[in-house]
Chains A and B, each alone.
Chain A
Amino acid sequence: EIVLTQSPATLSLSPGERATLSCRASQSVRNYLAWYQQKPGQAPRLLIYDASNRATGIPPRFSGSGSGTDFTLTISSLEPEDFAVYYCQQRYNWPPLTFGEGTKVEIK
């Protein structure tokens, strides 16, 4: 089973700042990695697929990069609605499909 480790667990930033979230895989997942955003009481929302492709309707301040075992989600300038929990998920080696434990982006 591929384990995804996200860091940091919590990121405290102010609106307008840049957020950099990390996801590390226990073995290569090539570029088969997705990122999701989840706000309290809501379902997750797909942000990025295949490491660097924005899903439909996702604003360009969200970008993804990486391949193999190290991936990054960057939010170039945080908007108030971006404070949420972010999860990565791999589909390269399954079953099982696996998610990271999440990174919470909170208002500083």
Chain B
Amino acid sequence: QVQLVESGGGVVQPGRSLRLSCAASGFTFSTSAMYWVRQAPGKGLEWVAFIPYDGTNRYYADSVKGRFTISRENSQNTLFLQMNSLRAEDTAVYYCARDRLGVVADMDVWGRGTTVTVSS
């Protein structure tokens, strides 16, 4: 079945780095645009980053620009989020999601999320 499974979350000190992964299965990952979306504890949804199917023209929320990098390895059906210079306000559940259309649209498949906690 169509599935996204995130991994790589954990507890990290402020200023450190973490790399999240999202393994895709059940659909053609190499033709799918993808997102990272996060949700701070008790808060709403926040779009973090977008990457098209071929990895070009990536976009980021201002809150993470210059610190986070979205990437993908189509041969491995995997999406990544490299998070550097982490701050307390980056604490959240991080979801990967598939774009419904293959361009910027809405998100029709979601993973269950991985929790990132930034704390000293």
Q: CB within 8 Å of B: which residues of A?
A: 34, 36, 38, 42-46, 49, 55-56, 87, 89, 91, 94-102
Contact = CB atoms under 8 A, between A and B. Distances in A.
B88 interface: no
Contacts of A101: 44
18 contacts: A42-B112, A44-B37, A44-B95, A44-B107, A44-B110, A46-B107, A55-B108, A56-B108, A89-B107, A91-B104, A91-B105, A95-B59, A97-B35, A97-B47, A99-B46, A99-B47, A101-B44, A102-B45
Contacts of B53: none
A87 B45 contact: yes
Main secondary structure of the interface of A (DSSP, over half): loop
Interface of B: 35, 37, 44-47, 50, 59-62, 95, 100, 104-108, 110-113
What secondary structure prevails in chain B residues at the interface with A? strand
A47 B11 CA distance: 33
Nearest to A92: B104
Nearest to B93: A43
A36 B105 CA distance: 13
B106 A91 contact: yes
A96 B59 CA distance: 8
A54 to B, nearest CB: 12
A22 B50 CA distance: 27
A100 B107 contact: no
A42 B35 CA distance: 17
